Structure 1
Amino acid sequence: MAKEKELSIPVDGMHCSSCSLLVEKSLAKLDEVESINVDLNTNKANMVLNDNVSPDIIDEAVESVGFTVPKDEVVIKIDGMHCASCVNNVEKFLPRVEGVVEANANLSNQKVTIKYYRDILNLKEIQKTIEMLGFEYIGLDGELDIMDEEERYQKDLRGKLYRIIVGLVFAAILMLIMHFHYTIPPLTLGQLSLIIAIFPFYYVSYPILKAGWNSFKHKNLDMDVMYSMGILVAFVSSVLGTFNIVLDSSFMFYESAVMLPSFLTIGRYLEARAKRKTSSSIKELIGLQPKTATLITTDSDGNTVEKEIDIEEINIGDILLVKPGEKIPADSIVVEGESYVDEAMITGEPVPKLKKAGIDLFSGTINQDGALKIEAQKIGSETVLSQIIDLVEKAQGTKPPVQRLANKIVSWFIPVILTIAIIVFCLWYFVAGAGLLFALTCLISVLVVACPCSLGLATPTAVTVGVGRAAEYGILIKNGETLESSQDVDVVVFDKTGTITEGKPEVEDIETFDMEESKFLQILSTVENNSNHPIAKSILNRFKLDNIQLRSEGREDLSLLDLDDFENLTGKGLKANVTIDREIKPVLAGNLKLMEAEGVFVSEEVLNKFDTFVSQAKTTIVMAVNGEIKGIITLMDKIKSNSKHTIDALDEMGIETYMLTGDNEKTASTVANSVGIDNVMANVLPNDKLDKVSQLQKEGKRVLFVGDGINDAPALSQADVGVAMGNGTDIAMESGDIVVMEGDLENVVASIQFSQKVMTRIKENLFWAFAYNMLLVPAAAGLLFLLFDIVFRPEWAGLAMALSSVTVISLSLLLKRYIPPIKRQSN
C-alpha cells in the first residue's frame, strides 16, 4: 500500500465558497488525491495523496475551473557536483521537499534553479537535503557577494593545486623506490613505501573519500563512490601485500594509490578553471556596471556641487554628471551636453552613437568624448543591462531536450559500470585464471576510467558559452529549448513595419479638400495622439515641426483639440469625437476599409489619389470629418539597409520567407520585391498572422516568426520560435523566445546560425563523451592486454578520466571565438 503524503498548494483567484468548492471538486477527481480541503481564508488547497502526482496535472486541474497555482523561482549556489549523476540526484531529491515543484541543476556553474509553490519555500529543508546528498549549500545566488565567490574559487583552486603537487612529488618518489627496490633496514620495501605514502595518500585523497563516504552514507551512488572504491582498493591491497595478509608483496602499488587521486584532482582543477571560462560573458556583463556616480546637487547656499555617491544611492530623477571615459551609471535621458557613447556591450553595434538632449542612455555603456548631464530613469534591477544579465543567466541554466538522452543514460551508468567491473574481475580471476593481481588491476581501472562527467558537461557548457557569445552580438536567447528549435527552421515569417522597415515612417504628402493643411493636421494629430502606433508618432512629430515653423514666422501655434469616445479599430484605423470650432464632430482616420464600413462616400478624385500614393509604396491615410473626406496624408517607411542581405542569406540556407502586414497589397508587394521575399500577405490583422503561422505548422513546417513583440504577440507565441525585435528598452518582452537588440535584422539569421553551431557542438560533445566510455572501458577491462599485451594501469585510467571532462569543456570554449557567417560577410 502506498504511503500517504500531505501536500498544500496556494491557489489564486478564489473569492467565495463556490470558488473553493469548484477547486475541491476538480482536484478530487484525480486518482492520486485521497482527500482534499480548500481553505478560502489562506487560499490554499490541502491534500492527502496516496501516490506521487505531477505538478502539471495539479495545475491543469486547478486551471480547468478558472484559477491558478502561483509559482516562484529561486537560484541557489551549491558546491561538490562533479558529474551528471550528481546533477540527477539533486534534481531527483529536491522535488521531495515540501513546496518544491521542480529543480534544475547546472553542472557547469554549480547552481540549482528551484521552482516552488509561492509562499511555500523551506530553505532549511532544502539545505538539509543538499547536505544529505553530500554537497555543500553555499546560499541564495542573488545574496552572494561577487568578491566572496571569487575568493572561494581561488581558495578551491589553491587547495587542488597543493594536493596535485604533493601527490605527484610523492608518487615520483614512490616510483623510484619501487623501481630500484630501495630499502632502509630494518624496514622492508613495502613498509618504507607505506610510511612515505600514507600522508600524501590521505592528503590528496581526502576530498574524494569524504565526498564518496557522504554519498554512500546517504545511499546516493555517484562517481565519488566509484573513485573512492578504486582508490581504497589500490591502497588497502598495497597494505595487505606489505604485511602478507591474504595478499603477497606483488600487490603493492602505492605509487598508483597516490597517483590515482592526484590525476583525478588534476582533472577537477582543469575542469574548474575551464568551467569558470564558460561563464565569463556573464562576469564581463556584471563588470560593466559602474560602482560610483557623480551626483549634481546644491549646497545650503544654493550653489551647484558635484558629489560622488555609490551606485546604490542613485534615485530616479537624480541629475548625474558623466565625464569622458566614464560609464553611464543608470538608464537615463540626456538633459545637457553632447557626446558619442559606445553601446557595443548592450546592442552588439560597434560604432559609437551620438547622444544629445532628449536621447536615451543605457547603464554600463561608455561615454566617449564629451561631458553629459543625465537624468536617471531606471535604476538597479530595472536597467536594460540588469535585464540582459538576468535573461542570459536564466538561459545558461536551461537544458535543450537533447540532454534528456544523456540524463537517461546517466541514471543507469553507475550501476552498469559497477556490474561490468565485477564481471570483469570474475572473468579474469575465475574463468581466465589470470591471477588476482591482474583481475584486481582491471577492477580498479574500470571503476576509475568510466566517467559520466563528460556526459553531464556536454550540454550545459556549450549552452553557457553559446548563449553568452550570442549576447555579445545583441542576441538574447531565452532558453535551451529555443536553441534546439531554431537550428532547423523551415520558414521565417516577417512582420513588415519595424522589422523589414525602420518602423519610423515620415510624412511625405498632405492633400486636403476644403480644409487648410494646418487645420487638417491639427484634427488628425488630435486623434493620433491616443495611439501608440509608429505612424501616429510620425504624424505628431510633423505637427510639432509645423508648430515650430509657425512660431518662427511670428504666428500662434496650434494645440491639440478636445477629444472623446476614442476607438482603435484594429486593421482599419481610428475613430473619435473631436471638438472642432466648439462643435463635437465624428472623425475617422484610416484606410478605405474604414470609410466603407462607416458609410463615408469616397469620390473618384479621392480614390485616384489614394491609388496613386499606394502604387508608390506609401502608407496612405484618409481622414473624414462628419462623414466627409477632408484630406489624405501619406508616409514612407524606409527599408532597413540590411533587409535584402538578410533575406538573401536565408535563401542560401534553404529557408522559405514570408511577409505578413496590415498594410495594403501594393505597398506590401513593393517592399517584398525590394528585399526578395516571395510570399506576401497584405491587409492582415494580428489574428490573421497567428492563423497563417498555424497553417504553416499544420503543413509540417517549423516556423520562426519575427515581429515587434507588441501587435505581433499572438503570432510570436504560436510560432516554434518567436524573435522579438527589441529597441533597447523592451528586451524583457515575454512573447519572444529570442530578443534582437536594436532591431538588427541580420541577427535573425545570426540567431539561427548560433543555434545550429551550439547544437552541433552539443552533439559533438555527447559523441566524444559516449565514444570515450565505449573505447576506454573495454581497454581498462583488459582488451589492450588481449590485443597488445599492455596492462591498462589504474593511474592511466585516472589520467584518462581527467582528460575526458577537460576535452568536452575545451570543445565548448571554442564557441567563444565563433563568428556567425552573416557577420563575417558584413565585416
Structure 2
Amino acid sequence: MIHTYTVTGMSCDGCRSKVEKTLNAIDGIQTIVTLDPPMATITMDKHIPTAQLQDALTAAGKYTIEMNNGVDSHVTTEKSTEKSCCSSNKPQEKPRIALPSNAQGKYYCPMHCEGEKVYDKPVDCPVCGMDLVKEATIISSKTMYTCPMHPEVVKEGPGSCPICGMDLVPMEPTDAEENKVYDDLVRKMKIAVFFTVPIFIIAMSDMIPNNPLMKIMDASKWNWVQLILSLPVVFYACWMFFERAWKSVITWNLNMFTLIGIGSGVAFLFSLVGLFFPTIFPDEFKTHDGTVHLYFEATTVILTLVLLGQLLEARAHSRTSGAIKELLKLAPTEATLVIDGADKVISIHDIKKGDLLRVKPGDKIPVDGKITDGESTIDESMISGEPIPVDKKIEDSVIAGTINGNKSFVMIAEKVGSETLLSQIVQMVNDASRSRAPIQKLADKIAKYFVPIVVLVSLITFFVWAKFGPEPAMVYGFINAIAVLIIACPCALGLATPMSVMVGVGKGAQLGVLIKNAEALENMNKVNVLITDKTGTITEGKPSVEKVFSLQNDENELLQSIASLNQYSEHPLAQAVVNFAKGKEIALIEVKDFEAISGKGVVGTVTNKKVALGNRKLMEQVNVTVSAELENQIIAEQKLGKTVSYISVDGIAVGFVSITDAIKATSVEAIKELIRQGVEVIMLTGDNENTAKAVAQELHLSSYKAGCLPEDKLKEIKRLQGEGKIVAMAGDGINDAPALAQADVGIAMGTGTDVAIESAKITLVKGDLQGIVKAKNLSHAVMRNIKQNLFFAFFYNVLGIPIAAGILYPFFGVLLSPMIAALAMSFSSVSVIANALRLRNLKL
C-alpha cells in the first residue's frame, strides 16, 4: 500500500535527507521525501500508524508528519484508480484530521496539534498542554482521553495535554468519565481554597485597623505560616500546572501553562529566597519592619484562580459534546431475536446480518434493516430532525436508534455495528469536530509567536518599571511583569475555532445535516451558486410510470423487455419501470450484454433483440432514427413536465415510457429562501429540454441546463469556479459523484447512493433542499460565532497585556494585580466556550 504524508519543519535539502533517512530506518517501509512540496510518499508492506512515524521524526528533530488523506489511512494505488472518475484538475483540499481506524477509545487533542496522533491515556497535549478528549464511539472497550484543542493527543486515563497543558477530556462523552475528571478538579479546588484563604487573610491583614494578627505573632513568623499553608496548594492541588509548564519548555511547545508556570513559579521562588535569605535584597524590597515583601498569597491565589478556570472549563466543555452524547444514547443495548418461532433477548453486539428481530411498541430499533412482517409508525426525528412520525410497512427500511410507535413488527438485520447509519453519523460528527477550519490558520500563526512575545513584554515591563518607575521601582516592575505573564491566555485563541465547530457540527447532526469537516462548514457560508440535480434532489426521487406507449400496440411485451433490462440498473427511473411491470404481474426474463451508459440510459439483448432505453442522446449513440410521429408525442409529454425515455428495438424507435416524479413540497420554499439570501440556483439535469424548462419555470430557478452528462456538470462547475464563484453542488446519484467532488461544497442527499455520499462534504439525512437552507444558516451562525470568539480573544490580549504592564498608571494611577490578571485569564477560555455553547440553542 502507498500513503502520502505532509511533513512540516523541513527548511533545506539537509532536512529533507534527514527525514527520508529516518523514515527509511523503520522496518517494512520505503520512503521518498520531497522538499517542495514538503511531502513523504511511503510504500508499506503493512499499515504503520502515523504515531510511530511521528515518534521517529521527533527523535530526529522538530519535524511533524500528517496523513495527506482526510478519509482513510489505508490508501492503495488500486483505490486511487478506482476513484479516478471523480478526479479533477482542482487543487486538492487540505485534508481534515482523521484518526486511524484503531483510534476508537483513544485520546486526541482538540487543537489538532499533532495531526492524527492518538494516545492511550488521557494525559495533557504535549504541544498546547490542554487535556485530551476521547474519541466518541458507540462501541468502545475502555475510556480514553484527549485534548479539546489537540485531537491527535489520545491517552488512557485523565491527565493534561502534552502540547497545550489543558486537562484531557473523555473521547467518548460518558457522564461517568466526565464526572471523574470534574470530581478530581473539585477536590483539588477545595484543598486550594482551604489553604489559600488563610494566606490571603494574613497577607491582607495590614489593611485591618490595629492589625489583630500582629498581636498574636510578628510579621516574620506569619511569613512562615504562609509558606506552610502554600505547600499543599503549590505541590498538590496545582502542581500539574508546573508539570505542564516544564514539559512545554523542554519540548518548546510554549503555551498558556508556560506563562502560568513562569509567573507563579517566579513569585513563589522569590518568596522562598526572601524568607530564607532576606539580607541579600535591597531595602526597596523590604517592609518597614525589615522583612522582604513576599508573594505567597499572589502565588496561591493565582494558582487557585487558574484551577477555578480549569474547573469551569471542564464543566463547560462537557456540554459542547452534548449532541454526540444524545446520539450515543439513541443506541439500544438489547434486542429481541426471533429464532425458531420464539423470542430471545440478546445484546446488540450479538446481532448478525440476516437475523430476524422483533421490535415491540416503544422500543428503539436496534440496527438498520427492513420490515419483513407487520407495520408501524416510527419516530425518526433524532436522525432526520423532522418531528412527524413516518409510516412503515413491509419492505420499508428502518434505522437504528429510531423509536417504534404503538405496533409490533419483525425486521431483518442488514447493517450492524459500525455499518449502521447511527454509527456513521457519530463517526462523521467526531471527524468533523476534530477538523480544522481554514480560519483557524490565523489563530495558529499568532499562537506560534504569542508566548515568546509575552515573555519578552514581561521582561521589558520589569526593566522599564525598574528604571523609570516610582519607588519601590523594582517591586512595581516585579509585580507588573508577573501580571503580564499571567493575564495572557493563548488557549482562548486556540479554543475559538474548535469549540464552535464542535458545537455547530453536533447541532447540524441533530437536524439531519451531516458535515464531514470544518472546511465545508466554513465554505458553505461563502457559497453564492448552488448547482442542483433534478431527480431525487428537487423531485421526490420516487418516480412512477404513467404509461408505456408502443407504435406497434404491444405495450405489455415492450414493458417486459424494458423492465427486464432495467432490473440490473440502480437508477430511480429504472426501478420505477421494474415496479410498474411487477404491478402488472409481468415476469422478468434474462438479459444478455447489459450495459449502463452514464447519463444516457441502458442497452442489452432481450430475447435475441437489441433493446435500448434512454434519452435522445442514447438514440443518437446507437444510431436510431426517431419518427416525427413518435417525436411529437414525446414532446407533448415533456411539456407536461414528464420524464420520457425512448425505446428502440433492433435499431428502430418503437415507443416511449412516460414517468412522473413529483417535485418535493419543500423544494419551492427552499429555493426561494436561497435566492433571497443571494444564492444563484442552477439546475443541471440529464433530462430533456422540455421537461427541464417546465420544472425550472415552476420553481423560478435562476437558470437551468438540460441534457447534461456527468462531464457537462463537471465542466459547468469548473467554469463557474473560474469566474470566482463559490459553488455548492447537490446531487444523489453515481453520475453526480464527479461534480460533487469538484464543487467547493458537495451536498449529497441521504436518500442517494453511497458513492454520491462519499464524494460529498455535507450529507442531508432527509434528502431535501430545506437541508441546504439549514446548512447555509448553520454555517453562517458558526462562522459568526468563531469570529466573535477570535475577536474576543484578540481584543482581550491586546487590551489586557498593556494594562497589566501598567500603561494606565501614568494617567489614572491604575495597576492590575497579578491575582486579578489570573482571574481574567481563567475566564477568557471559559468565555470562549460559553459563547460557542450558544449555538446549541440555534433555531434553523
Instruction: Normalising by structure 1, report the TM-score.
Output: 0.83
Q: Which residue of 2 aligns with 1:825?
A: none
Counterpart for residue 794 of structure 1: 818
Match among 597, 611, 614 for residue 590 of structure 1: 614
Q: Distance in 2 between matches of 1:682 and 1:415?
A: 60
Residue 658 of structure 2 aligns with an amino acid whose one-letter code is: T
Q: CA deviation at 1:250?
A: 5.7
More off after superposition, 506-515 vs 198-207: 198-207
Residues 1:313 and 1:571: Cα distance change in structure 2 (over 3 Å): closer
Two-structure CA RMSD over aligned residues (Å): 4.1
CA distance in 1, matches of 2:580, 2:691: 22
One-letter amino acid matched to 1:575: V
Aligned to 1:456: 494
Q: Does 1:289 align with 2:331?
A: yes
Alignment of 1:761-772 (within 5 A): 761-772=785-796
Which residue of 1 is the match for residue 594 of structure 2? 566
Look up the SS of the partner of 1:251 in the other structure.
coil
Counterpart residue identity of residue 419, structure 1? L
Q: 1:134 to 1:465 in 2, by over 3 A?
A: closer
Quote the offset at 1:43 in angstroms. 12
Correspondence list, 1:268-287, <5 A: 268-287=310-329
For 2:536, what is the secondary structure of its paired residue? helix
Q: Deviation at 1:571?
A: 3.3
**Alignment match of 2:308 (pick from 246, 260, 266):** 266
Query: Greater RCO between the two (CA within 8 Å, min separation 6)?
Result: 1
How far apart in 1 are the matches of 2:62 and 2:242? 34
Q: Alpha carbons of 1:69 and 1:376: their partners in 2 closer, same or farther (altered >3 Å)?
A: closer
Residues paired across the two proteins, number: 763
Structure 1 residues 550-629: aligned runs within 5 Å = 558-579=586-607, 584-629=608-653
Determine if contact 1:515/1:630 at 8 Å carries over to the other structure. no
Change in 2 beyond 3 A, CA 1:167/1:733: farther
Aligned to 1:546: 584
Q: Is the 8 A contact 1:731 1:741 kept in 2?
A: no
Partner of 1:703: 727
1:823 corresponding residue in structure 2: none
Change (3 A) 1:763 1:586: same
Displacement of 1:217 in angstroms is 4.7
Q: How does 1:67-466 map to 2 (within 5 A)?
A: 73=100, 75=103, 88=113, 90=114, 110=133, 146=174, 149-150=177-178, 152-167=180-195, 169-175=197-203, 177-180=205-208, 181=211, 182-183=213-214, 184-185=216-217, 188-242=221-275, 244-245=278-279, 246=281, 247-248=285-286, 249=291, 251-298=293-340, 304-434=341-471, 435-466=473-504
CA deviation vs aligned residue, 1:786-823 (integer Å, no higher than 9, x gap): 23212211110110001111111111100111112xxx
* One-letter amino acid matched to 2:329: G
CA distance in 1, matches of 2:76, 2:428: 31
Give, in whole Å, the separation in 1 of the partners of 2:804 and 2:419.
Answer: 55
| Residue 687 (structure 1) aligned with residue 711 (structure 2) | yes
Query: How far did 1:351 drift?
Result: 0.7
Partner of 2:542: 504
Cα deviation, residue 458, structure 1:
0.2
Distance in 2, Cα, partners of 1:529 & 1:205: 69
Match in the other structure for 2:667: 643
SS of 1:677's equivalent in the other structure is: coil
Gaps in structure 1 of 5+ consecutive residues: 15-19, 96-102, 114-121, 299-303, 548-557, 821-827
Return the alpha-carbon distance in structure 2 between the equivalents of residues 164 and 572 of structure 1.
74
8 Å CA contact 2:737–2:755 kept in 1: the answer is no
Match of 2:4? none
Q: Indicate yes or no: 2:699 matched with 1:675.
A: yes
Deviation per residue, 1:636-665 (Å, 9 max, x gap): 111111111111111111111111011110
Q: CA deviation at 1:270?
A: 0.7
Shift in alpha-carbon separation, 1:507–1:593, aligned structure 2, 3 A: same
| Cross-structure match for 1:527 | 565
Is the 8 Å Cα contact of residues 129 and 163 (structure 2) preserved in structure 1?
no
Q: Distance in 2 between matches of 1:337 and 1:639?
A: 30
Structure 2 counterpart SS, 1:530: coil
Alpha-carbon distance between aligned partners in 2 of 1:782 and 1:29, rounded to the nearest angstrom: 49
Once the two structures are TM-superposed, the CA of residue 316 in structure 1 deviates from its matched residue by 1.3
In 1, are the aligned partners of 2:129 and 2:162 still within 8 Å (CA)? no
Judged with a 3 Å threshold, the aligned counterparts in structure 2 of structure 1 residues 270 and 58 are, in CA distance, closer, same or farther, namely closer
- Residue 69 to residue 688, structure 1, CA distance change in 2 (3 Å): closer
After superposition, give the CA deviation of every residue in 1:85-108 in whole Å (9 maximum; x if it has no partner): xx65x569x79xxxxxxx999968
Could you say which residue in structure 1 is the equivalent of 2:836?
Answer: 812
Distance 2:587 2:474 in 1: 99
| Mapped partners of 1:328, 1:168: distance in 2 | 54
Question: Which segment is superposed worse, 709-718 or 223-232?
Answer: 223-232
Q: CA deviation at 1:521?
A: 1.4
Aligned to 1:824: none
1:372, distance to aligned residue in structure 2 (A): 1.9
State the percentage of identical aligned residues. 35
Structure 2 residue runs without a partner (length 5+): 1-13, 70-74, 83-97, 119-125, 137-151
Deviations along 1:167-188, one digit per CA (max 9) or x if unpaired, are: 5543554356443331324764
The one-letter code sitting in structure 2 at the alignment partner of 1:512 is S
Offset, 1:222: 2.9
SS at match of 1:462: helix
Q: How many Å separate the matches in 1 of 2:636 and 2:575?
A: 24
Using the TM superposition, give the Cα deviation of residue 728 of structure 1 relative to its aligned residue in structure 2, in angstroms.
Answer: 7.9
State the shift of 1:520 in Å: 2.1
Q: Distance in 1 between matches of 2:459 and 2:448?
A: 19
One-letter code aligned to 1:331: D
Q: Is the 8 A contact 1:476 1:740 kept in 2?
A: yes
Q: Does the residue aligned with 2:735 lie in a helix, a strand or coil?
A: coil
Could you state the TM-score of these two structures normalised by the residue count of structure 2? Answer: 0.82
Local SS of the residue matching 2:456 = helix
Aligned-residue offset at 1:238 = 3.6
Q: What secondary structure is seen at the aligned counterpart in 2 of 1:630?
A: strand
Could you tell me which amino acid in structure 1 is paired with residue 334 of structure 2? T
Q: Is the alpha carbon distance of 1:190 and 1:731 closer, same or farther for their aligned partners in structure 2, counting shifts above 3 Å?
A: farther
Aligned to 1:757: 781
